[in-house]
Amino acid sequence: MSKKNSETVTISKAEYESFKSLKEHCAQLESELKWLKEQLLINKKKAFGSSSERLDDLYQGISLLFNEAELIEDIDEKPAETTVKEHTRKKKIGCFDKLPKNIETYTVEHELSEEERKCPECGEEMEVIGKKVTKHLEIIPAKAVIREDVYFTYACRKCHENEAETPVVEVPQPNPVIKGSFASAEAIAHLMAQKFVMHSPLYRQEQELKQKGIELSRQTMSNWFITASRMWLEPLYDRLKEQLLKESVLHADETTLKVLRTKEKPTATKSYMWLYRTSRCSETPIILYDYRPNRKAENAEKYLEDFKGYLHTDGYKAYRSIDDVTIVGCWAHARRRFCEALEILPEEQRKDSTAAIGLDYCGKLYAIEKKMKDESPEDRLKERQEQAKPLLDAFFAWAKSLRNIAPKSKLGKAVNYLIEEEPYLRRYIEDGRLEIDNNRAERSIKPFVIGRKNWLFANTPSGAKASATVFSIIETAKENGLDPYEYLKYVFTKAPNLKEIESVDILLPWNAPDCCRSKSAPSTE
């Protein structure tokens, strides 16, 4: 049995310390190199990859059993292929479109002329023995007309002839939406719907109207928006806010908004649009936007000072300083970080990676929620305590056991976020009314983000405030199954003519008449 030769080298303490320092420096350089490689892959992903968080076939080995708004699968529009003997034939795809339901239909009958109805054989008039019916969808462009309202005045001629006191009766004239203006409720409702629903900026609407021979400047339209919003929509907004703050569960989010001219800064400045909305359990869905010049915590504190209950948020710490409010964390943000950590790994390392394990935990949590989507809050609470709680315990224990992860790496950020947000991420299992994430708020703020991409900025703070008010009324109307245009028209017609004994409550979306109901199919959510 041979013994391996070993050699002992004696070095000085200074040489040992130098060697130790060099080793630590190498470890640091390796960590920095890994981080730089991650950043390179991320930049390539942003430049050339898909912008969605969709997981491709590379992750099929991972049990990702969740379904969220961020995961949008592309529809394969390629024609199906059928294999036949000795060749491959592409199936012909015909047009199988269906006519829309519940829209007005009119009939045009096409008949032969009296001369054409004569029989070519004997000359007698032919009779109808059948018919063919075809249907086509017509889209008639909107047109503008001037409505001239004439209100007559009446007097008694007999009394006048008898020189008696002659009564004079006038047809009552309703109050206009804006006094001294030719704007109608229909016009303002249409222009608002075009901007805030169809995301058409005022300059584009100005051009479209000009092509139809209608001279209406964007400044005039903007003045209509601000005036109508201040007079008739703000009181409605305030009433909705009162109702919102009585809820026990809310969602909150915020996004940026550029305002060109403010008192603080003469040039463009970054402001914020805050969003607050009701939960899925609310009987009166409400979505409200709040324009603020900054992102300070005091904005949320002041807005929610009368609210007591659960508040769904992302990881933004400004919400955590609000009194009497219990913060509920967002698992979509936690899951997103593990997605990002997985995407930057080489393909061959993804399946059994630490990021894949974290993502699998998230998937199982979402799978539990999916199965009890339609259950009552009581049943949902019971299932969460039995199924989700043990899984959460295991997930956080696993995360805390991880060592030697570079904190600035994508994986390090995912794990650290999980550990730091643990109290808030656990909270959704405390009450069956709560949700696993804050996607409800993110979906509600999306219409504003899409609109911002089209009109880019607000000119003044008053315009930004008006936009927040109009967006609030429109999105709340949509959430209650109303047609935004019909509802705005109703409000601008009814609000100026409310009697003193009538409350603004009759204008609330859930009290709107049937004529305001949307004709589109209801949401399946």
Please write down the HEC assignment for all residues of 123-191: CCECCCCCCCCCCCCCCCCCCCCCCCCCCCEEECHHHHHCCCCCCEEECCCCCCCCCCCCCCHHHHHHH
Per residue in 420-434, pLDDT tens? 999 999 999 999 999
Which range of residues forms the domain containing residue 413? 331-437
pLDDT of 55? 41
pLDDT of 17? 72
Q: Does 345 fall in a domain?
A: yes
User: Exposed, middle or buried, 50 (CB in 10 Å: 0-12/13-18/19+)?
Assistant: exposed
Q: Does 412 fall in a domain?
A: yes
Q: Does 525 fall in a domain?
A: no
pLDDT of 332? 95
Q: How far apart are CA 352 and CA 59, in angstroms?
A: 10
One-letter identity of residue 484: P
Domain count, the chain: 1
Q: Does 516 fall in a domain?
A: no
Q: Does 393 fall in a domain?
A: yes
Confidence class for position 46, pLDDT limits 50, 70, 90: low
Q: How far apart are CA 393 and CA 415, in angstroms?
A: 15
Tokens in use for 397?
A: 């224990």
Per residue in 453-470, pLDDT tens? 776 667 778 888 888 999
Q: Does 413 fall in a domain?
A: yes
The residue with greater pLDDT, 140 or 22, is 22
Per residue in 465-523, pLDDT tens? 888 999 999 999 999 999 999 999 999 999 999 987 788 999 999 999 999 998 774 44
Q: Does 398 fall in a domain?
A: yes
Q: Does 363 fall in a domain?
A: yes
Tell me what the mean pLDDT of segment 228-255 comes to.
96
pLDDT of 261? 62
Per residue in 6-33, pLDDT tens? 567 677 777 777 777 777 778 777 777 7
